[in-house]
Amino acid sequence: MEKIIFQATGEEPVEFYVLEQTTVAGINYILVTDTEEGDGDALILKDISGKDDEEAVYDIVSDDKELNAIAEIFENLLDDVEFTKE
């Protein structure tokens, strides 16, 4: 499983494991978790990179409509994944 490191400006780096990725309407989304195995907290991140950005820029999907739609896609892609919203 691929591990990636995110670092917000002025924050400590945080490691996540990429479970899956998909593209919808030309927008890239990744499903990440904080643990390599077992149940963990998961986030759906949206690539908001500009064409001039040297590195990928991701934002947490927080819009309920978008979150539900993308979560359903990831549930269909991954047979053993079910989301519960907290």
What would the pLDDT profile of 6-46 be if each residue is shown by its tens digit?
Answer: 877 788 988 999 999 999 999 999 999 988 877 778 899 99
Is residue 84 in a domain? Answer: no
Dist. CA 15–CA 13, nearest whole Å: 7
Burial class (CB in 10 A: 0-12, 13-18, 19+), 16: buried
Is residue 82 in a domain? Answer: no
pTM of the full structure: 0.84
Dist. CA 77–CA 71, nearest whole Å: 10
pLDDT at 84 over 70: no
Is residue 72 in a domain? Answer: yes
Q: Which domain holds residue 49?
A: 3-77
Is residue 63 in a domain? Answer: yes
Q: Do residues 55 and 39 make contact, with C-beta atoms less than 8 angstroms apart? A: no
Is residue 22 in a domain? Answer: yes
Is residue 15 in a domain? Answer: yes
Is residue 26 in a domain? Answer: yes
Question: Structurally, how many domains does the chain consist of?
Answer: 1
Residue 68, SS3 per DSSP: helix
Mean pLDDT for the chain overall = 87
If one counts every other C-beta atom within 10 angstroms of the C-beta of residue 52, the result is 5
Element (H, E) at 73: helix 64-77
Is residue 62 in a domain? Answer: yes
